[in-house]
Amino acid sequence: MGDEIDFDAFPIARKGNQFQDFTPGNVFVHHWGRTVTDGDNALFSTAMCNWNPMHLNAEYARAHGHDDVVVNPMFVLCAVVGLSVEDLSEVGGPFLGMEDVTFHRPVHPGDTITASSTVVEARESDSRPHIGIVTWHTEAHNQRGELIVDYQRTNFVAKRREPKPAAAS
């Protein structure tokens, strides 16, 4: 029927950063943002076996002074990390851990989260020459510019072995 198409020759539209892209002090403003919905909170909280009425019973949350349910902070944390993955860890390596995670104020359905991260440290691995260890400080704010969560996260990050490819146009 027509010429064969060589799909393997299509240039890949690469995503993500590697060890050489992280210099202490660099700031990454992460993509997209996210408006949190009632559905997000209910789905996440139930799937994670977190049936706490502060997250799932609006009358209970109102009786404790909130206007609506309190979005499960673990959802907020997962979404903030999610927003940061392409910039920080998508092609890097395993997630090692987090320190000093502080939930500064509650998130309610309808709030919009944005996130940014600063490189705190980028060091070589003694045992693995092709891998480094990077720590970032991430902050997330709501639509009023209020800090809702911040933390430090550390990952293994692979080093780039060839020159950085040209960005896809």
Partner 1 sequence: MTPSDITSGALTGDGNWFEDFAVGQRMRHFRSATVDEVENNYISKQVMNTAQGHWNEEALRGSHLGNGRLVFGLITGSMTVGLASQDTAENALAELGLDNVRFKKPVHHGDTITAYTEVLAIDESPDRDDAGIVRFKHWGRNQHGDVVCELERLVLIKRRRAWTLDGPTR
Q: Considering only residues 83-122, where is the footprint of partner 1 by CB under 8 A? A: 83, 85-86, 89-90, 94-103, 106
Least Å distance between CB 88 and partner 1? 10
Among 64, 123, 130, 164, interactor with partner 1 by CB under 8 A = 64
Residue for token pair 């999610």: 82
Whole-number Å distance between alpha carbons of 164 and 169? 15
User: For the chain, first and last CA: distance in Å?
Assistant: 31
Choose between 1 and 167: whose C-beta lies nearer to partner 1: 167
Among 15, 123, 130, 164, interactor with partner 1 by CB under 8 A = 15
Residue 58 Cα distances to 40, 41, 48, 53, 54, angstroms: 15, 12, 19, 8, 7
| Nearest CA among 117, 127, 113 for reference residue 153 | 117
Site for partner 1, rule CB under 8 A: 15, 32, 34, 40, 43-45, 47-54, 57, 59-60, 62-64, 70, 73-75, 77-79, 81-83, 85-86, 89-90, 94-103, 106, 151
